[in-house]
Structure 1
Amino acid sequence: MLRHAAHSRKQYATRAAVLAALLGSIAPARAQQTPPATAPPPPATDTRHPPEEEHVKVLTGLVVTGGMPRDTAADLGRPAEVLSDERLDENRAASLGDTVASVPGVQSSNFGPAAGRPIIRGLDGPRVLILNDGLASQDVSTLSQDHAPAVEPFLADRIEVLKGPATLLYGGGAIGGAVNVVDGRIPEVAVDNGLSGRAETRFLAAAQGGNTSMVRVDGGSDLFALHADAVFRHARDYATPRDRQANSFIDTRAGSLGGALLGDWGFVGLSAARFGNIYGNPGEPDVHLRMRQDHYELKGALRDVWGAGNGLRFAAGHSGYEHTEFEGDTPGTVFRKNANEARLEASFGNATHWQGVVGVQASASRFIAIGEEAFVPETRTRAQGVFGVVRRSPGNVQLDLGARIDHLQSRPVGGAARSFHPLSLSIAGAWKFAPRWTLAANFDHAERAPVEEELFSDGPHVATLAYEIGNAHLRKETARQLELELQYQSPRMQARLTAYSTRIRGFIHLAETGAFWHWDDADRLLPIRRWTQADADFRGFEGEAIFHLTTNASGDWDLRVFGDGVRASFDSGGNVPRIAPSRLGAQLRWENLGWRAALGAIRSRRQNHVAPNETPTAGHTLVDAHAARHFDTGNVSWEVFIDASNLTNQDARVHTSFLKDVVLLPGRSLAFGVRVFF
């Protein structure tokens, strides 16, 4: 044991030295005050509107923020998406997964309307990191599909989706990618005119009933800024095309207060937030969950410390999380997690040399479960990481390099600790070979350490109706991804097409053992599943195009089309379970004199590529529509809107959900209300 620990420390030190040498060799000797380089243009962006224009809604291509200084590494040549403004308003849902599910390559795990994590390129769970303004959400949503992430999409200014292991800034274990919810709880710049805000009330009708209301207010001066927000949601059990879906209700209360001191030197601020959620589990008609998380955060930046665009950013957060699963009115299993996280970043460089960011990150958490479904023991986890990303943009070529090394240790109560030292590397290039064409290529090596439930679980997991057994001898997952992307941009059209292949050595998954365990409470047999590893291959494509059809007296007419698909199989034979089906979607949009409308449809194909003991899922087409009227009264802007979903009232099931055989998506639904901006 001592020899093994010494070897691990030596291995970690060696990798850290290699990382330091790599970054040190390419960092410039002295930063110069030169404007940042211009990266190749992002794809699929409506260039008729400036990206910062008030209330203009665009779906952009290459965005990486959440702590990364935008002027030195705004996109790192990596594919990403951002939902903001009108696009976000039209897609907001109670769960984060459903909110971002219209992004190519992204779908939702869907355990009812309240619990849905994003799935990126077929990868889910701990392989997809959920961030709140650049810090991990620190909930227990990776433990089970019925655990909702502790984030509120209705309070987001924008939601950023990072695909692939480009998330080296936040954690090398996010092999699938990351979703960053940016809500601006800590102001970073002065508020225009000293006061701004927005509010919304929407009512649900037809298959759904209830309402959601939110408000956000920012105020201050050139020296300080204050922020407050709140959201209230009540949604009753929804109706499907066949019947009412029992136990699908949601009640949410969330809000935050924040403030910051501002100046030409930078900013420093604090925030306090609470997220509370009560929701039913449609898979168990008598079970509901009550969740609460308190989160406190300190964040700041020092600007232009050693040159224009170069400085320091830091953030620290503490989260206290608890949720209780009730059977009727009787409390059942309680899940608790306390976590601390801190990160420090330094940006450097100039336009004629290398630009980049180096940083350190550390976290510590304690997880405990009490009750009949406490299938994971109390576990303490500590992690430390060192990371760096750099760029050089000579002429029409852009080169990005990234590296990260982490040390993680998970220590269960009454068991032996496991330590891991994952290393992640990334190289990306983009070549603008013609005025309207860009070719990008990316290669990534990413390693992920197994998490608590994969290592130490041992007990019945009622949400998945299985008895799960962990494997304390699991090794790291190692993913190697190759990706090619072709981009086109002109005044009439923006498009991109991406193909990728991800080979994962030691893919961790739940495998059937063929044995059963008798669940006395329900008098039924549960299949015994064991966490195991096998090599797997994920390969797929994503495409998106926006056509600006015409601009005349009748208004602006745009057509957006997109598609995605992924196949995942084990090298030894057979399919990886619960892989999302391929999709094809289109939306026609119109805007004129304050009016806008959209009509779209998404076709999900039948999923026949299933694993043993997994059933196929029929295809379906969901038709949606949106309409809004925008008008101004003095310094206040108003928007009256109506949104419709599943207009043809189709039976629709989510193949990635454990509940797909017993739970349907809502039938024909309407939402209408008013938004105000000031």
Structure 2
Amino acid sequence: MSASRLRHLPLSLAIALSMPLAAQAHEAQDPTGTGHDHEPTDLARVEVRATPLAGTADNLVRPVEVLAGEALDAAKASSLGETVNKLPGVQSSYFGPGVGRPIIRGFDGARVQVLSDGLGSGDVSTVSADHAVSIEPFLADQIEVLKGPATLLYGSGAIGGAVNVIDGRIPEAATVEPLEGRAELRGGTVNDERTGIVRLDGTSASGNVVFHFDALHRETGDYDIPGSAESAATHAGHEEEDGHEEVVVGRLPGSAIRTDSAALGLSWVGDRGFIGGAYSLFNSRYGVPGHAHGAGEAHGDEHGHEDEDADGEHAEGGVRIVMDQRRSELRGGLDDLGAFQSLRVKLARTEYTHTEFEGGAVGTVFDNTATEARVELVHQPIAGWTGALGAQWSQREFLAVGDEAFVPGSDSRDAGLFWIGERAFGPTRLEFGARHDRNRVDIEESRAIGPDRDFDTTSLSAALRWDIGEDVHLSFGLDRAQRAPTAEELYSSGIHVATGSIELGDPDMDVETANRAEVGVHWHNGPFRIGASVFQVRFDDFVYLADTGIVEDGLPVRAWTQHDARFNGAEAELDWTFVDNASGAWAMRVFGDVVRAELDGRGRREVALAVPHGDHAHHHTASLANDGDLPRIAPARAGAELRWETGSWRASLGAVRYMEQDDVAEHEAATPGYTLVDAHLAWHADTRGGNAWEVFVDGSNLLDEEARPHTSFLKELAPLPGRGIEFGVRAFF
């Protein structure tokens, strides 16, 4: 047996063993959509867990989107960003198929908090565009997207929104049956994908001890593309410089992925609460496209699998990344505490290592140890106000080692207190909240390029929902949110290999302040649902990465800087079941979103830069515009989807048009528009034992169109995958 097959054996055995167990289980109801409930999930009525005040996506005052059940199964992809990419107002960053971070209404990076059931993911995906989010979407029960500032609940890093992933790894209630779960096997043509997933949940005979187990293995080769890896403009530039350049056509070198994830959780559950813990691991190995040229550099099969050494590591090639994370969690809850309705306590410690290999040799190693604790107390109504008190504390110890470690080591700490409350006044509901945080960043003394910094941030929020009638409601939101600069924005100084640039921070940055106003309307009448929102966010001292126009040693120099800015945007979605008869249920979904982000000023300003060069620095003065568009803003989109369901069958056909993005920053090129067409087909069967099977086929980019996301640093070097077909089988028991 080959070494490759031996690596797949543990997961294959786990899935094989789980199949016979299905014959012993019975059909039951599972509100998360992970077990036996195979009916379509009404996403508007799914309870949202990202806020301590109980509510659903349909009745919360704040804008929120939820994916669960069949909708989540259809959307799941290899990255979190791609999974939520079709929600209105939500797009994804892109740094190859292994890396995709959510972008909410034009905000990304350190402004969008990624959470694992209310606690930070513990990775360093905000440090660099090539760092992946350490959450596996295929193991999620439910994904919630909070639009607009979520600083009130989750602090400075959520000024643009938050994405909360519920995975059920620490059980909070007994399962309906003694043993239940699901398993899935899938493959794909565009990248020779092979993925296997298994999940088991069970309860002891006493009903008090509940366990959870999950595991995933995914392996893909380099993916197929419709044309060449480099854009026409980039290839022409290389031909001018070198006189010749080998064109890589038909596939994207450096786009292979291998991911392994597993978790084990155990809880004691009583009548009034629970206490439990979980241990999980996440390991991903992926290439960085665009850092290797020429088809001859990758040796292996037609899908781009490179030759491996005895340890399974890639012996040759461009830049490859090995990311490893181990996470320990404790959670507890108690209900009916007299003056308080409930108490929830959460604690997580995450140890994360990210190693970059360059041509088989270790280039740079990033180590991150994060500890976070959170307490939430929901109090009984006071003068008609239902509310929650909370405290949150976190610490991050970050260290980068290597010649190309552009960010120095740092120790970041944050402590915050918050209150959020709501009250009904006839047909209207008001929500108010406040939060104060204390942030501190201590820089590694041996590489100090600026002083340690302390920041105080305060966020205030007000929202109103007005139920005009049973079917229509209006919503209004006002926020003042603040964000402390991150260590990367303050202290970066050196070559950032992933983006092919020299990146410089500013240790004298101030707190960033956002003032948001939003108006929304929602109408739900039987099979017809429509929602629309318009918003504006005005920033004081907005932090962004500006291209200075300066080139040093052949690399562009980019500088973190601040200036006032404004974001204006709108989004809308319509969902209509227009036929429901003997031919089946036919539904149509149409959505669109747009955001315009501009600097709010006039003229230009001069910025002094010290570019490191060996043991000294080259000094430059950059002239930056005080007006114009901000860089890498997501383009406008319009999408449509036709769905059909009858009996055991369901199918859909959809398309999303990404418009040309020509509202670009200085020194930034426009990106052509493109259309992505997808289709889904699934057949579901219930067995006599109460179990279920599902066979599915999914198609993506069916027009085989060249697509280069404007939000990507690699858009000129790495297009999205071409036409692909995924197929597989799911078992529920």
Q: What TM-score do you get using the length of structure 1 for normalisation?
A: 0.89
Q: Which position in structure 1 is the counterpart of 2:334?
A: 302
Distance in structure 1 (CA, Å) of the matches to 2:174 and 2:77? 30
Match of residue 712, structure 2, among 647, 657, 666: 657
- Deviation string 1:552-605 (CA, Å, 9 cap, x unpaired) is 011111111110000001012110000111111111111111110001110111
Query: Is 2:492–2:505's contact at 8 Å kept on the other side of the alignment?
Result: yes
CA-CA distance at 1:87 after TM superposition: 1.1
Aligned amino acid, residue 468 of structure 2: F
Matched-pair contact (CA < 8 Å) for 2:48–2:55: no
Whether 1:116 and 2:100 are equivalent positions in the alignment is: yes
**2:342 partner letter:** G
Q: Deviations over 1:484-515 (max 9, x none)?
A: 00110110201111000011111111223343
Q: State the SS of the aligned residue for 1:87.
A: helix
Q: Does 2:203 align with 1:220?
A: yes
Q: Which residue of 1 aligns with 2:459?
A: 424
Give the 3-state SS of the residue equivalent to 1:581 in structure 2. Answer: coil
CA separation of 1:605/1:73 partners in 2, compared to 1, >3 Å: closer, same or farther?
closer
State the distance in 1 between where 2:155 and 2:43 align.
25
Kept after mapping to 2: 8 A contact 1:238/1:245: yes
Q: What is the aligned length?
A: 622
SS in 2 for 1:112: coil
Q: Is the 8 A contact 2:592 2:636 kept in 1?
A: yes
Partner of 1:19: none
For 1:273 and 1:386, locate their aligned partners in 2 and report how far apart those are by CA, in whole Å. Answer: 29
Cα distance in 1 between the residues matched to 2:699 and 2:42: 20
Partner of 1:371: 402
How big is the shift at 1:396? 1.4
Shift of 1:172: 3.6
Q: What is the CA–CA distance in structure 1 between the aligned matches of 2:649 and 2:714, rounded to whole Å?
A: 39
| Aligned counterpart, 2:561 | 532
C-alpha separation between the residues in 1 aligned to 2:45 and 2:126? 27
What SS does the corresponding residue of 1:234 show, helix, strand or coil? strand
CA gap of 1:469–1:160, structure 2 versus 1, over 3 A, is same
Paired residue secondary structure (1:260) = strand
CA contact (8 A) 2:546 2:631 kept: no
Residue type matched to 1:552 in 2?
N
Alpha-carbon distance in 2 for matches of 1:598, 1:273 = 35
Query: For residues 479 and 67 of structure 1, do their structure 2 counterparts lie closer, same or farther at Cα, with a shift above 3 Å needed?
Result: closer
Pick from 438, 443, 446 the counterpart of residue 412 of structure 1. Answer: 443
Shift of 1:530: 1.6
Would the aligned equivalents of 1:62 and 1:79 in 2 still touch at CA under 8 Å? Answer: no
**Paired residue secondary structure (1:240):** strand
Percent of residue pairs identical: 48
In the TM superposition, residue 310 of structure 1 has moved relative to its aligned partner by: 0.6
- What residue in structure 2 maps to residue 190 of structure 1? 174
Give 2:525's aligned residue: 490
**What is the aligned partner in structure 2 of residue 260 from structure 1?**
267
Aligned with 1:434: secondary structure? Answer: coil
Letter in 2 for 1:446: A
Residue correspondence of structure 1 range 176-575 to structure 2 within 5 A: 176-205=160-189, 207-221=190-204, 222-242=207-227, 243-285=250-292, 286-306=318-338, 310-350=341-381, 353-414=384-445, 415=448, 416-518=451-553, 525-572=554-601, 573-575=627-629
CA–CA distance in 1 between the matches of 2:118 and 2:61? Answer: 19
Q: 2:71 aligns with which of 79, 87, 95?
A: 87
| Contact 2:438–2:454, Cα closer than 8 Å, also in 1 | yes
Instruction: Give the distance between the partners of 1:58 and 1:530, measured in 2 at CA.
Output: 46
Give, in angstroms, the shift of residue 50 of structure 1: 9.1
**Residue aligned with 1:463, SS:** coil
Residue in structure 1 matched with residue 726 of structure 2 by the alignment? 671
Task: Confirm or deny: 8 A CA contact 1:63 1:82 kept in the other structure.
Answer: no
Structure 1 residue aligned with 2:305: none
C-alpha RMSD of matched pairs (Å): 1.8
Moved more, 314-323 or 158-167: 158-167
The one-letter amino acid of 2:575's match is: I
Residue deviations 1:527-568, cap 9 Å, x none? Answer: 222211011110100101110111101111111111000000
Give the equivalent residue in structure 2 for 1:577: 631
> Which amino acid in 1 is paired with 2:271?
D
1:436 Cα deviation from its structure 2 partner: 1.4
1:102 and 2:86 are equivalent in the alignment: yes
CA contact (8 A) 1:283 1:463 kept: no
In 1, are the aligned partners of 2:44 and 2:56 still within 8 Å (CA)?
no
Is the Cα contact below 8 Å between 2:44 and 2:57 reproduced in 1?
Answer: no
Q: What secondary structure, in the 3-state scheme, does the structure 2 residue paired with 1:154 have?
A: helix
1:417-461 deviations in Å (ceiling 9; x for gaps): 100011111100000112211010000000000001100111100
Aligned to 1:629: 683
Using the TM superposition, give the Cα deviation of residue 76 of structure 1 relative to its aligned residue in structure 2, in angstroms: 4.6
Change (3 A) 1:566 1:437: same
Deviations, residues 154-177 of structure 1 (Å, cap 9, x unaligned)? 100011101111342221431110
Is the Cα–Cα contact under 8 Å of residues 109 and 656 in structure 1 kept in the other structure?
yes
Contact 1:223 1:261 in 2 (8 A): yes
Partner of 1:148, secondary structure, is: coil
Shift of 1:663: 1.1
Deviation string, structure 1 residues 321-356 (Cα, Å, up to 9, x no partner): 001000121111000001111011100134981111
SS at match of 2:425: coil
SS at match of 2:490: helix
Q: Report the secondary structure of 1:188's partner residue.
A: coil
| One-letter amino acid of the structure 2 residue matched with residue 82 of structure 1 | V
Which residue identity lines up with residue 602 of structure 1 in the other structure?
V
Q: How does 1:7-26 map to 2 (within 5 A)?
A: none
Q: Deviations over 1:284-304 (max 9, x none)?
A: 120000000000000010011
Q: Indicate if the aligned counterparts of 1:454 and 1:531 stay in contact, CA closer than 8 A.
A: yes
How far apart in 2 are the matches of 1:175 and 1:291? 27
State the distance in 2 between where 1:661 and 1:72 align: 41
> Counterpart amino acid of 1:191?
T
* In 2, Cα distance between equivalents of 1:371 and 1:223: 50
Report the AA paired with residue 548 of structure 1.
T
Match of 1:8 in 2: none
Give SS of 1:264's match: coil
Structure 1: unaligned runs, 5 residues or longer:
1-48, 519-524
1:421 is paired with a residue whose SS is strand
Q: CA deviation at 1:395?
A: 2.4
Determine helix, strand or coil for the equivalent of 1:336.
strand
- Please give the secondary structure, in 1, of the residue aligned with 2:263: strand
Alpha carbons of 1:50 and 1:325: their partners in 2 closer, same or farther (altered >3 Å)? closer
Distance (whole Å) between structure 1 residues aligned to residue 176 and residue 412 of structure 2: 42
Which piece of structure 1 moves more, 144-153 or 49-58? 49-58
CA 1:217/1:188 → structure 2, altered by over 3 Å: closer, same or farther? Answer: same
The answer as to whether partners of 1:63 and 1:81 remain within 8 angstroms in 2 is no
* TM-score between the two structures when normalised by the length of structure 2: 0.83
